[in-house]
Amino acid sequence: MGMDNQAFIYRMFSKFYNENIDRIETPKSIENREFGFTIFKENVMIRHKGFMRAEDLKEFIRKTVPSNVYYSTAYYIMPEAKMDEKGWLGSDLFFDIDADHMPTECNKIHDTWTCEKCGLTSNGVTPKKCPRCGSESFDEKTWPCEKCLEAAKVETIKLIDMLTGDLGFSISEIKCSFSGHRGYHIQVESEEILKLDSTARKEIVDYVTGTGIDAIFHGLELINYGEARILVGPNLDDFGWRGRAARGTYEFLLKATAEDLKRLGLKSRVINEILANKNEILESWKTSGPWNMVRGLGLNGWRKIIQRGISLQSAKIDTVVTVDIHRLIRLPGTLHGKTGLLKVSFPASEIEAFDPLKEAVAFKGGEAKIYVEEAPKFRLGDEDFGPFKKQTVSLPLSAAIFLLCKDAGEVIDSNV
Ligand SMILES: [Zn+2]
Ligand SMILES: [Zn+2]
C-alpha cells in the first residue's frame, strides 16, 4: 500500500502552489533578477533563469513544482546570461543568521552528522573536516527546535539594532524573514548599498560581528589624575561599539562564574576579587564605572574581559553570504524542501513577537499516517509532537510533511 515519499511531497507542494500562488512575493525589479530552482527528481540546481513578469514566475512554479526556489540578491542586465556576461548592476545587502552557526546546548541532543566517506557519526555542530578521515562531505540531520530558533532571533535583533542605530538604515527599509528552517534573513534594499563591492560589504560584516574591535580604541585607557594614574573605560550609554562593549561587559560580569573568568586567563586572586565584589562592580556603572575597583586588575585584564563582552554583543551572521554579491537566496512565500515550511517575510519592527513555528506552517487541514524512524520532540503551530522512535502515527498534514521532508519516516496513507 505504501506511497512513495517524494511523490507524496511533490503532490502536496503542487496542491499548495495551486491554492496559494499569490503568497509568492515578487522581488523588486524581477526582470533583473536571476532565479534558481531545485526539482524533486534530479535534486540538481537549475539556475540562470529569468522572468519578465511576476505571472511568468508564478506560472513556472505552479507547473514545475520545485523543491526549492531561489533568486539573486543581485540585479543584472541579462540574468539568463553566463555569470561573467550577466552585467552586474548592484546587489541588495543580505544577512543570513542560522542556528547552524551557533553552538546551542540543545544541538548536541537533536543534531547529528555522518561522514559520507568513513561513516563516522556524532552529535552537535558538523565539523569542517571529518576528525577520522578528513573528508568534507557529511549527511547532516539538524532540527529547527524552539531554543535554536530563539537563539537565532536574539542574533537577528542585535543585527537590526546595529543596522538602524549605528549604520543609519531606517527600520522600514529592512526586510526580515524566517528562512523556513533554522534561521532568519535580513535584507536591505536601498540605493545606498546597491553598488557596494565585496570588500565594502566585508567592512559591514566586520562592524556587525565586532571584528577587530579593541577596548583600547574605545575609551579604555590610563589617565593622569593628580599624582595618580587611573583607569577609565566606556560607559553603558555611549554610542556605537563603545556602548556595546560596556553593555557586553556588564552582561558578562552579571553572569560570570569562576570558570568563565579563568578561561580569560585571569589570576585566581583577581577572580576572587571580582566574584566577591560583583554587586558593587555592577552598581558602579551608574557613576564612573568599575575600572579602578578590582585590586590587581589593570588595563590588560579589563581588555580581555571587555573582549568577551564584545563577542556577546556581536551578531553571529554567516559572513560568507553577505560578502557574496552573486548570492541566490530563497524566495519569500515559497516552501523549503527540507521542512515543508514557508519562507515568510515580516516587518523588522515585529520580530520580537514573531513566532516562526506558527507563521511558517503552510499546510492546514488534512492528516497523514506515517512511520517515523526517529524524531526529537518538536512544535508546529500550537501543538507539540514527538519524540518518536520506530513507530506509526497519524499526524496533522503539516507535521507529517515536516517529518517526511526531514527524511525521518515513510508515508503510509493520507486523506488528502
Ligand atoms: Zn570520515
Ligand atoms: Zn535546538
| Residue 210 within a domain | no
Assess if residue 336 is contained within a domain.
yes
Ligand nearest to the CA of 152: 2
Q: Which helix (H) or strand (E) holds 410?
A: strand 409-414
Indicate which CATH number applies to the domain containing 412.
3.40.5
273 part of a folded domain: yes
The strands making up 183-188's β-sheet, listed across from edge to edge, are 93-98, 183-188, 174-178, 344-347
Can you give the length of the chain in residues? 416
Claim to verify: residue 220 and residue 92 sit in the same structural domain: no
Q: Output the domain CATH number for residue 170.
A: 3.90.920.10
Q: Could you tell me if residue 287 is inside a domain?
A: yes
CA of 102 to the centre of ligand 2 (A): 10
**Residues in the chain with pLDDT values less than 50:** 1-2
- Taking only Cα atoms into account, the Rg of the chain, rounded to an integer number of angstroms, comes to 25
The pLDDT of residue 237: 94
Q: Distance from the CA of 114 to the center of ligand 1, in angstroms?
A: 8
Distance (angstroms) between ligand 1 centre and the Cα of 139 equals 11
In a domain, 341, yes or no: yes
| Domain identity same for 300 and 401 | no
User: What is the number of the ligand closest to the CA of 376?
Assistant: 2
Looking at residue 3, its pLDDT comes to 62
Same-domain pairing of 68 and 178: yes
What span, in angstroms and rounded, lies between the C-alpha atoms of 7 and 12? 9
How many angstroms does the Cα of residue 123 sit away from the middle of ligand 2? Answer: 12
What is the domain range of residue 268? 215-313
Distance CA 172, CA 5 (A): 41
Q: Confirm whether 196 is domain-assigned.
A: yes
Residue 320, C-beta contacts closer than 8 angstroms, at least 6 positions apart:
none
Q: Please report whether residue 63 resides in a domain.
A: yes
d(CA 149, CA 155): 10
* DSSP bridge pairs for 35: 49, 71
Judged by phi (left if over 0) then psi (alpha if -120 to 50, else beta), residue 194 lies in alpha
257 with 128, same domain: the answer is no
Does 254 lie in the same domain as 157?
Answer: no
Question: Ligand 1 center to residue 125 CA distance, Å?
Answer: 15
Domain match, 86 and 121 both: no
Same domain, 376 and 283: no
Q: Count CB-CB contacts under 10 A for residue 326.
A: 14
- Residues with C-beta atoms within 5 A of ion ligand 2: 106, 145, 147-148
Residues within 5 Å of ion ligand 1 by Cβ?
115, 117-118, 120, 130, 132-133, 135
Query: Residue 118: nearest ligand to its CA?
Result: 1
Ligand nearest to the CA of 107: 2
Q: Which ligand is nearest to the CA of 114?
A: 1
pLDDT of residue 1: 37
pLDDT in tens, 187-239: 999 999 999 999 999 999 999 999 999 999 999 999 999 998 999 999 999 99
From the CA of 139, the nearest ligand is 1
**What distance in angstroms lies between residue 145's CA and the mean position of ligand 2's atoms?**
4
Residues 6+ apart with CB under 8 A from 166: 207, 239, 240, 241
Indicate the residue type of 262: K
Q: Are residues 120 and 46 in the same domain?
A: no
Last residue of a domain, one of 286, 313, 340: 313
State pLDDT tens for residues 348-393: 999 999 999 999 999 999 999 999 999 999 999 999 999 999 999 9
Residue 16 Cα to ligand 2 middle (Å): 28
Tell me the β-bridge partners of 68. 38
CA 46 to ligand 1 centroid distance, Å: 30
Boundary residue ending a domain (90, 119, 141): 141
| pLDDT given for residue 329 in this prediction | 98
Ligand 2 midpoint to CA 159 (Å): 21
Q: How far is the CA of 57 from the centre of ligand 2 (A)?
A: 35
Burial tier of 109 (Cβ tally within 10 Å: 0-12, 13-18, 19+): middle
Q: What is the full DSSP assignment across 178-197?
A: E-SSSEEEEEE--HHHHT--
DSSP conformation letters of 137-193: -EEEE----HHHHHHHHHHHHHHHHHHHHTT---GGGEEEEE-SSSEEEEEE--HHH
Distance 197 CA to ligand 2 centre (A): 35
- Packed helices 240-255 and 299-313: angle between N→C axes, nearest 10 degrees: 100
DSSP per residue over 53-119, as a string? SHHHHHHHHHHH--SEEEEESEEESSTTS-GGGS-EEEE-EEEEEEGGGS--STHHHH-EEEETTT-
Whether residues 89 and 187 share a domain: the answer is yes
> What is the per-residue pLDDT for 102?
81
CA dihedral over 31, 345, 403, 113, signed as positive or negative: positive
Structural domain count, the chain? 4
